[in-house]
Structure 1
Amino acid sequence: MLRDSADRPLVIGHRGAPGYRPEHTAPSYELAFRLGAEAVEPDLVATRDGVLVLRHENEISGTTDVSSRPEFAARRTTREIDGTELTGWFTEDFTWAELSTLRATERLGALRQASASFDGRYPVIRLRDLLAIVDRASDEGDRMLRLVAEFKHASHFDALGLPLDELFAAELDSAGWGRGDERLIMEAFEPTVLDRLGVRGVRGSRVLLIEDTGTPWDLVLASGRQAPPYDSFATESGLYALAGRFDGVSVGKRRLVGPARRGTPAEVLGGADLVDAAHGAGLSVFTWTLRPENRFLAPARRHGAARGVWGDWLGEFRAVIETGVDGIFVDHPDLGLEARAVHGAP
C-alpha cells in the first residue's frame, strides 16, 4: 500500500517546479517530485480536437514559441475570454498534433533566468502525459502522490463545445484512473464546472478558487450584476454555504498574510480567521502562490530593489503556514518543504 505523508500543509508543485524548469513541462513535473513535492498542479485547457493540454492560459504566446513559428502566423487573432479582450494564439485553434510541435518557454523568464535557460527544449504536454508521470513517480517513491487539476475558462470552452468536465472524465478513464480517487483534487474559479464534475461521478476533492477581486465568470453569465463576488465566499456565512457542496477553498496568499484591500467589507475574513472559519465549516484551505523573489514578497520582506532577487521567503512562507492552511502552492517545492520543516521544528 502506498504511504501518504502525514505532514501538513501539503506541499504542491505549482505547475511543477517552474522556479527551476519551464512551467507545465515534463521535466518541471518530474523535478517537482524529485524535490519532494507531494502533489503537482496542472492548468487544463482544450485543443480544437478535444485534447486536454497543460498551459497557464488558453492564450499561449507567453508560454510557447508559437509567435516565432511562421506556419502559425495566420492563427493570431483577437477574442474575448471571460469578458476580457485578448490578442494572441489560442489552444482551441490548434489540433493536438499541431500543438505538440511547439516548444515551451518560462512565463516568468525575465525574473527566472535559470528556468528560462531551458526555453525551447521541451514540448507542450497533455494531461495524459502528466498522469503517467504521477503514476511513475508514485511507484518509484512508494508514496501517494496527488494531482491538483485546475480547470481554466470552463464557460468559454463550454461555448465552443469543449466541456472540460467531460473531457477530463474521459482522460481519467483512458489513463486507468477510473473516476478518480483520493489522489485527485479538482479546483476552478468557476463553481459550475466543479458541480458538474460531481454530477459526473468524478471522485476526489473539489475546491473552489477564491480570487482576490472580481466575480466568477460563470455566475456573471447566469446572473449579471446580481452575481455574488468572490468576497462573498470568504465570509463565515459564505463558507458555511459551500460546506457539503465542495470540500475546500483555495485563496490567494494576500487574503492570509497581506493587508486588507481598501473598502473590503468587515465580514470578509482573512488570515487565521478565514482558515478557522473554513475548518469550522468542514472545508480544507489551500493558498497560492508562495514564491521567493522580491517581486512576489510583501515589501517588508524584500532584500534590495532587484525584482528577481530572493528576499525573506522563509519568513513569509512560515507566516502563511502559521495560519493553519492545509496546502501551499509553491514554484520551488524544496523551499516549501524547508519552510514546513522549520515551522514544525521545536
Structure 2
Amino acid sequence: MSRKGAILRAAAVLAAAGTLIGLAAAPAAAKPHHDHGNHHDAEPIVIAHRGASGYLPEHTLEAYALAVDLGADVIEPDLVLTADGELLARHEPVLDETTDVAEHPEFADRKTTKDIDGNPVTGFFADDFTLAELKTLRAEERLPDIRTESAEHDGEFQLVTYDEVLDYVGTLDEKIVTYPEMKHPSYYEEQGLSIEDALADLLEERKLDRKRSPVWIQSFEYQSLLNIAERVDNRIGLNIDGQGPISNADLNEYADTLDTVSLNKNRIFPRAADGSISEPTDIVERAHRRGLDVHVWTFRAENTFLPANLREGTDPAAWGDIEAEFALFYDLGVDAVFSDFPDLAVAARDDC
C-alpha cells in the first residue's frame, strides 16, 4: 500500500467512526504595530494549506483534523461570507469546483454571474445561500484528476464555518494556530458588506483579538489588512503573488504596518524559462532585516506543481522530489511554509 493510500485509508476509518466529524535600503525606523510571534532563527512553522488538502477535500473539518494529526502547527481556513453573514471555510465565493451544489436542483435558479476583481464569474455564490442551505451541500475534491484518492471522499463531508473550526481547535490538547484568509474583501465591499467586520466581530466575541492570540490574519488586499488592524491586534500578513522583485520602499511600508509577508515561492526562487528552479533572490534577507516574517506558498508533492528539475517521471499526478524543494527554502531561513501535505513539510524540516 502506498504511503498516500495508507494515510487516506486511515482518515476514512476515522471519519467513518465519527472521530473527525465530532471534533538594500536601511530598514524602516518605525516599529511594526504588532509584535512578531516567530524568531528568524527558530525552526520553520508548518501551515496546513486548506487543511491536509493533498489527502482529503479541502476546507473540511476532516482535512483540518488530519492536518493536526500529521503534525501541522497551523491550519489555514480561507473565509467567504454567506447570505446571513456567517464566515464559511471555502477557497472562493464560488462553490462550483469544491461542492456538489450543481447536483441540487432546488438551487438551480441561484446560478448567476458576478464580478470578482474585475472579472465576470458565473456560478453558485456562497453569499446567495444561507448557512442552513449550505449545510445541505457536501464537499468535493477540487483537483479530481490529480488527487483521485481524495476524490473518493466526494460527498462525505459537510461544509464548515470558521466558528466551527475554532470550536474544534478549542477541543485539542495542543496549541494549534488558525490562519484565516479573508477572500476578496473588495468583492464584498462592493455589495455593502465587510468581511473584515465579520471576522473582527467573531474574534472579539471569542476574545481571540489579542496580540498573543493563536489566530493570525491574512489577505491579498493590503487595504483590507489595514482596515481590520484598526479593530484587532492579531498578527497580520500580506499575501503577494507572482514573480519579480519587491522594492525596499514597499518592504519598509509593510514593516510599519504588518507582521508578515507571505510570498509565492517564485518570489524567492524564480522559475527559469524551462520551468526549473533558479538562484534565490534576496527577499528573505531584506524582509528579515526589517523585522518581517516570511511565509511561503504553496508546497505540493505532485509533479504538475513542482519545478521542472524536481519532477520524477512524466505523470503529472506522481510525486516528485518535494523534499529537495522544502530543503531549499528551509536552508534559506523562511519562517513558515504552506503545504497541502503537512506531514511531508514536517519530515523535511526534521531532516534539515
Q: TM-score, length-normalised on structure 1? A: 0.85
Letter in 1 for 2:261: V
Q: Retained in 2: the 8 A contact 1:132–1:175?
A: no
Letter in 1 for 2:179: V
Q: Which residue of 1 aligns with 2:94?
A: 59
The CA distance in 2 between the partners of 1:255 and 1:212, in whole Å, is 7
Q: Does 1:281 align with 2:316?
A: no
Q: Deviations over 1:161-189 (max 9, x none)?
A: 22011100122234453556331211111
Alignment of 1:49-198 (within 5 A): 49-137=84-172, 140-141=173-174, 144-179=175-210, 181-198=212-229
The CA distance in 1 between the partners of 2:332 and 2:342, in whole Å, is 19
The CA distance in 2 between the partners of 1:323 and 1:252, in whole Å, is 15
Q: Retained in 2: the 8 A contact 1:63–1:104?
A: yes
Q: Retained in 2: the 8 A contact 1:187–1:207?
A: yes
Letter in 2 for 1:210: I
Q: Retained in 2: the 8 A contact 1:157–1:163?
A: yes
The CA distance in 1 between the partners of 2:82 and 2:247, in whole Å, is 37
Structure 2 segments unaligned to the other structure (5+ residues): 1-37
Q: Does 1:209 align with 2:239?
A: yes
The CA distance in 2 between the partners of 1:180 and 1:53, in whole Å, is 24
User: SS state of the match for residue 180, structure 2?
Assistant: strand
Q: Retained in 1: the 8 A contact 2:269–2:281?
A: no
By how many angstroms is 1:83 displaced?
Answer: 0.8
Q: Deviations over 1:84-127 (max 9, x none)?
A: 11111111111111111110011112111111111100010001
By how many angstroms is 1:7 displaced?
Answer: 4.9
Q: Which residue of 2 aligns with 1:306?
A: 315
Q: Retained in 2: the 8 A contact 1:21–1:115?
A: yes
User: SS state of the match for residue 32, structure 1?
Assistant: helix
Q: Retained in 1: the 8 A contact 2:208–2:214?
A: no
Residue identity over aligned pairs, in percent, reads: 40
Letter in 1 for 2:166: L
Q: Does 1:238 align with 2:250?
A: yes
Name which of 246, 264, 275 aligns with 1:252.
264
Runs of at least 4 residues off by over 6 Å: none
Alignment of 1:20-31 (within 5 A): 20-31=55-66
Name which of 80, 96, 99 aligns with 1:45.
80
The CA distance in 1 between the partners of 2:230 and 2:295, in whole Å, is 23
**Cα distance change of structure 1 residues 53 and 261 upon mapping to structure 2, 3 Å threshold:** farther
CA RMSD of aligned residues (A): 2.0
The CA distance in 1 between the partners of 2:209 and 2:233, in whole Å, is 9
Q: Which has the higher contact order (CA 8 A, sep 6+)?
A: 2
Q: Deviations over 1:9-46 (max 9, x none)?
A: 10000011011111000010011011110001110100
166-175 vs 328-337, which deviates more? 166-175
By how many angstroms is 1:74 displaced?
Answer: 0.8
Letter in 2 for 1:128: D
User: SS state of the match for residue 268, structure 2?
Assistant: helix
The CA distance in 2 between the partners of 1:9 and 1:290, in whole Å, is 14
The CA distance in 1 between the partners of 2:308 and 2:178, in whole Å, is 32
**Cα distance change of structure 1 residues 189 and 98 upon mapping to structure 2, 3 Å threshold:** same
Q: Deviations over 1:204-243 (max 9, x none)?
A: 1110111106xxxxxxxxxxxxxxxxx67x2222211211
The CA distance in 1 between the partners of 2:124 and 2:280, in whole Å, is 38
